Amino acid sequence: MTEFGFIEQIRRLFASLPDQGFEGIGDDCAVLPLAGDEALVFTSDLLTEGVHFLRHATTARELGGKSLAVNLSDIAAMGVSPVATLLSIALPQDATQQWALEFMEGYRQVAERYATPLIGGDTTRSEAGITINVTAIGRGPVSHLKRRRDARPGDRIFVTGELGGSGAGLREILAGHLDTPLAALHRNPVPQVDEGRWLGARHEVHAMMDLSDGLASDLRHILDLSHTGAEIDLESIPVAAGADLQTAACGGEDYKLLLTAEASAAERLAAEFRIRFGTPLYPIGRITAQEGLVWLRAGQPEALDWRGFSHY
Ligand code: ADP
Ligand code: MG
């Protein structure tokens, strides 16, 4: 069974329960609308040793920062601001107190940067391997929320940064090269918290999500939920220095934002994004009414069976 097959089974199994006002499984966060135009959003991510990280290939401090950053990225993907987090951690005997304290220092540094207090969690012993679970809570106007299902035919598709750096860094780490710039990039993702909040306030932005599994896989979630297709111009994909095009399209953990925007407002949106952040909003293609994902090279369709990255 695939990861998404399992999630779909879970969703169906629980579909008949009362929703208690929540919009649940399927987007980067679950949503709870409050009174007025406010909503809370919730997301949770698990990192397990040997699957998501190798203890010898990361510092405890970096891992602490990354555990929080990947959750803040899911809040940013909804177009609102993170407000607090909970942290649960299972530590085996061979993880020292020093390791645990450094992990918390890394977590604190990112928490301080984004003004997100740690409000609870759980601590326990593990028989083998470190397991980390973070739950992040966000808050913002309902009218700013961006969902995967809201892409419309004709929309321009953008990404907020260069892709493939993290995937290329992971390859270097697995080859034993830990001290390279790309390996460091892989271990220290920067969540696009300010960008997400800014894009949330723009009504011309329709659908948004963060890129955790790779463009080839993540874009398909937007297409499936929006019942649309897309054309992606291969030469427009911003490839990080040191990465290649396929890694940019399929590699995971870049944690940039993927969004679609009304075509008539897209140029102004990109210009104002550049003024605000000093970096481009990269246009990579268009949403189409015809379902399916089409890769174009010099405007011609190219048959590529590209898929994203999966830990599962
Ligand atoms: P993301 O990559 O944005 O964190 P995922 O691909 O992990 O999202 O998950 C897709 C959706 O499925 C999300 O809405 C997530 O909350 C939900 N989900 C994932 N695993 C489970 C689970 N075990 N139980 C309930 N919901 C889940
Ligand atoms: Mg996500």
Any atom of ligand 1 within 6 Å of the Cβ of 8: no
* Ligand of minimum distance to the alpha carbon of 211: 2
Token look-up 């999500």 returns 209
Q: How many beta carbons lie within 10 A of that of residue 125, not counting itself? A: 9
Any atom of ligand 1 within 6 Å of the Cβ of 26: yes
Domain end residue (candidates: 109, 144, 179): 144
CA angle 309, 222, 52 (to 5 degrees): 25
Q: Which structure tokens are listed for 240?
A: 């990080």
Any atom of ligand 1 within 6 Å of the Cβ of 195: no
Any atom of ligand 1 within 6 Å of the Cβ of 24: no
pLDDT in tens, 213-270: 999 999 999 999 999 999 999 999 999 999 999 999 999 999 999 999 999 999 999 9
Q: Which of 4, 6, 7 to mutate to test ligand 1, by most ligand atoms within 8 A of the CB atom?
A: 7
Confidence of residue 178 (pLDDT cuts 50, 70, 90): very high
The residues, ordered by sequence, that sit 6+ positions from 248 with a Cβ below 8 Å of its Cβ are 162, 163, 164, 167, 215, 237, 238, 239, 240
Q: Are residues 119 and 161 in the same domain?
A: no
The answer to whether residue 124 is domain-embedded is yes
The values of phi and psi at residue 109, to 5°, are -60, -45
The answer to whether residue 10 is domain-embedded is no
CATH number of the domain enclosing 107: 3.30.1330.10
Q: Are residues 164 and 286 in the same domain?
A: yes
Are 143 and 39 in contact, with CB atoms under 8 Å apart?
A: no
Question: Distance from the CA of 2 to the center of ligand 1, in angstroms?
Answer: 13
pLDDT in tens, 6-52: 999 999 999 999 999 999 999 999 999 999 999 999 999 999 999 99
Question: Using CA atoms, how far apart are residues 102 and 130, in angstroms rounded to an integer?
Answer: 14
Token look-up 């649940």 returns 24
User: If you take atom 2 of ligand 1, which residue's CA is the nearest one?
Assistant: 212
The answer to whether residue 11 is domain-embedded is no
pLDDT for the residue numbered 148 = 98
**Ligand 1 atom with least separation from CA of 29:** 14
Any atom of ligand 1 within 6 Å of the Cβ of 27: yes
Please report, rounded to a whole number, the percentage of residues in the chain having pLDDT higher than 90: 96
* Ligand of minimum distance to the alpha carbon of 77: 2
Are 270 and 198 in contact, with CB atoms under 8 Å apart?
A: no
Domain end residue (candidates: 144, 168, 184): 144
Average model confidence (pLDDT) for the chain?
Answer: 96
Question: Distance from the CA of 28 to the center of ligand 2, in angstroms?
Answer: 4
Any atom of ligand 1 within 6 Å of the Cβ of 10: yes
pLDDT for the residue numbered 243 = 97
Any atom of ligand 1 within 6 Å of the Cβ of 25: yes
What is the domain range of residue 22?
Answer: 18-144
Domain end residue (candidates: 119, 144, 169): 144
Q: Are residues 156 and 275 in the same domain?
A: yes
Q: Are residues 139 and 156 in the same domain?
A: no
pLDDT for the residue numbered 80 = 98
Q: Are residues 157 and 227 in the same domain?
A: yes
Strands (E) across 114-245 are located at 118-125, 131-141, 156-159, 205-210, 229-233
Q: Are residues 173 and 197 in the same domain?
A: yes
Q: Which structure tokens are listed for 91?
A: 């530590």
Q: Are residues 47 and 187 in the same domain?
A: no
Are 234 and 216 in contact, with CB atoms under 8 Å apart?
A: no
Question: Distance from the CA of 10 to the center of ligand 1, in angstroms?
Answer: 10
pLDDT in tens, 95-147: 999 999 999 999 999 999 999 999 999 999 999 999 999 999 999 999 999 99
Are 72 and 136 in contact, with CB atoms under 8 Å apart?
A: yes
Q: Are residues 95 and 191 in the same domain?
A: no
| C-alpha distances in Å from residue 195, one per residue of 76, 124, 202, 204 | 7, 35, 11, 15
pLDDT for the residue numbered 48 = 97
The answer to whether residue 58 is domain-embedded is yes
Residue 158 pLDDT greater than 80, yes or no: yes
Q: Are residues 178 and 112 in the same domain?
A: no
pLDDT for the residue numbered 244 = 97
Q: Are residues 175 and 226 in the same domain?
A: yes
* Ligand of minimum distance to the alpha carbon of 221: 1
Confidence of residue 299 (pLDDT cuts 50, 70, 90): very high
User: If you take atom 5 of ligand 1, which residue's CA is the nearest one?
Assistant: 28
Any atom of ligand 1 within 6 Å of the Cβ of 45: yes
Residue 312 pLDDT greater than 70, yes or no: no
CA dihedral 98, 99, 105, 111 (to 10 degrees): -150
Question: Using CA atoms, how far apart are residues 307 and 198, in angstroms rounded to an integer?
Answer: 30
Any atom of ligand 1 within 6 Å of the Cβ of 23: no
Q: Are residues 253 and 210 in the same domain?
A: yes
